[in-house]
Structure 1
Amino acid sequence: MLKTFIGGIAVGLANIIPGVSGGTMMVVLGMFNKVMNSIDGLFSRHNKNRLEDFKFLFVLGIGAVLGLVVFAKVLEICFANYPTQTMFCFVGMVAFSIPSLVKTEMKDDRFSPIPFAVGCAIIFGLMFLAPENKELVLTTFPDIDPVYLITMVFLGLIAGGAMFMPGVSGSMILLIIGKYYLFKSLLANVTSFQMDIILPLGFMAVGIILGIILCGKLLKFLLANYHGMTINFILGLVVASSIVLIPISANYDVFTIVTSALALLLGGVIVLLLEKLA
């Protein structure tokens, strides 16, 4: 259970980073299939291991929530002081996860250029639609009303489904639709236990759970019936994600180049350590 808890923290960390996929992190940790099977098992009529599936998902979920909340605060500090280096660390994490994806999921599948290209095109398209960077810290939040809370459920539904799919970042989807900074700032301030923070996050959590369940069932079906095409599509998502995260518009001097290279290697080392843990 300790490995599951630590894995959940890693998945939570990934999900708060735009462009880094929680699903990819599950692949790296060797937990992807188990998570899918456990979600499916919770709703299977004749599953004798339902309690074990629930325990596994519960521990994973607690770790993910902890990772989300803690790293939301850390992320504010990193972006405020070392934005370029932080992004290169994320690039390293995504890029170094590609060999693990190929090794674990493409053992008997050939490379298919069309689904791979479609996966790349989706990520490049999402990045093209993404708005310009804004302030990462919000100090005021919307007033609570039914429309706002229902909107948070739908945001959770979208983000939850994206979080579960390898290569697709739920945070990037929220960034594209202009809600990432709200989500991250709500998480960063959750320990204040203010109602205008706790209540919206609670409604979003409901949507996230529904999104994970629906996406989990869809992916299970696709992998069971179209495994090769699905994995090549996911590979395209991951490869493109490692490219679009590179901060092209940053001001590069000698210090920035050296520290960014070290940060990229650090991201790779983190992934390799997570693989060892798995």
Structure 2
Amino acid sequence: MILNFIRGFCMALADSVPGVSGGTVAFLLGFYDKFIGSLDALVAGSMQEKKEAIIFLIKIMVGWVVGFLMAVSILASIFDAQIYKISSLFMGFILFAIPIVVKEERANMKFNASSIIAGIIGIAIVALITYFNPIAGQGSTVDLSSLNISLILYVFVAAMFAISAMVLPGISGSTLLLIFGLYVPIISAVKAVISFNLDYLPILIVFALGILAGIVSVVRVIKWALDKHRSIMIFLIIGMMIGSFYAIIMGPQTLSTPKAPLSFSSFDILWFVVGGLIIFGLQKMKDVTEKAE
């Protein structure tokens, strides 16, 4: 229980910030296949497999909820003011995570035309979503307390994309929310509900339904692709991680009061190194958790 609590807690810290995904943390800590297999079992497993999956995921979820609530209570207050430090931290996460993914998956990676194309597609997906984001540079004017059909659909679809990214060991779902201009509004809405301001509860329910829809529709595809075409998927994931550098650089433009993209002058080397140290610590934690099992 303690081991899986720690795993869920670490996943939540990753999921709550744009950078690496909770799936990346699960990958770095060595339980990704069990995690994605458990999600798949909820959808299409036998009764016994469903029971085992539920028990495992509940243990993970307890740690995840605690970690997420702690992260949200801090991030909602400092994200705008410290965007460049946080962005530098995210870049450290990603840059130092990529070689670990390559090292862990080296035996499965095949350098051929299909894999290289998959990597290029991964970069392009994130870069194009970021480039054509209609909110960037205009400020996030989304008012999550006032529901309408277009907002409900937008949040629902964004949640589906976000959870799909969160379960992949690649780009963070929070990075996608940042691209869609929903990261700060969703984080602020969660903090408001925690403070018993229920005006934002309806849109958070929509967001949760989008997450569930994403899990049901995407997880089986991801598991199948990783099982049957692992090399191509790893290159796609690495491509998305590389592409997320551009998303993070442009992230300040999606704030409610847009700021200039991250530049050499606003880049914070100290927080970048801290991001790398955290990834290094997670890799070391993997050795500890494997011994514990």
TM-score scaled by structure 2? 0.80
Distance 1:84 1:177, change over 3 A: closer
Q: Which residue of 1 aligns with 2:276?
A: 268
CA-to-aligned-CA distance 1:52-82 (integer Å, 9 cap, x gap): 3112112222322333332123223443443
CA-to-aligned-CA distance 1:158-184 (integer Å, 9 cap, x gap): 322222223233223333333333211
Deviation at 1:41, TM superposition (A): 2.0
Q: Which residue of 2 aligns with 1:18?
A: 18
2:109 aligns to what SS in structure 1?
A: coil
Contact 2:249–2:261 (Cα < 8 Å) also in 1: no
Q: Which residue of 1 aligns with 2:60?
A: 60
Contact 2:108–2:230 (Cα < 8 Å) also in 1: no
Q: Which residue of 1 aligns with 2:201?
A: 198
1:27 partnered with 2:35 = no
1:237 partnered with 2:240 = yes
Amino acid aligned to 1:105: E
How far, CA to CA, are the matches of 2:79 and 2:140 in structure 1? 8
What are the equivalent positions in structure 2 for 1:36-185 lying under 5 Å apart? 36-46=36-46, 48-111=48-111, 112-130=115-133, 131-132=135-136, 141-144=144-147, 152-185=155-188
How far, CA to CA, are the matches of 2:54 and 2:169 in structure 1? 22
Structure 2 unpaired stretches of 5+? 251-259, 287-293
Q: Which residue of 1 aligns with 2:231?
A: 228
Deviation at 1:114, TM superposition (A): 1.4
How far, CA to CA, are the matches of 2:231 and 2:177 in structure 1? 29
Distance 1:84 1:43, change over 3 A: closer
Contact 2:163–2:173 (Cα < 8 Å) also in 1: yes
Deviation at 1:89, TM superposition (A): 0.9
How far, CA to CA, are the matches of 2:223 and 2:146 in structure 1? 39
How far, CA to CA, are the matches of 2:34 and 2:203 in structure 1? 30
CA-to-aligned-CA distance 1:194-247 (integer Å, 9 cap, x gap): 322233323322321231232211111111221111111111111222454247
Deviation at 1:270, TM superposition (A): 0.8
Percent identical among aligned pairs is: 29
How far, CA to CA, are the matches of 1:166 and 1:214 in structure 2? 18
Deviation at 1:136, TM superposition (A): 8.1
Structure 1 unpaired stretches of 5+? none
Q: Which residue of 1 aligns with 2:217?
A: 214
Contact 1:106–1:231 (Cα < 8 Å) also in 2: no
TM-score scaled by structure 1? 0.84
Contact 2:120–2:239 (Cα < 8 Å) also in 1: yes
RMSD: 2.8
Distance 1:143 1:177, change over 3 A: same
Distance 1:65 1:201, change over 3 A: farther
Amino acid aligned to 1:132: A
Amino acid aligned to 1:121: A
Amino acid aligned to 2:230: H
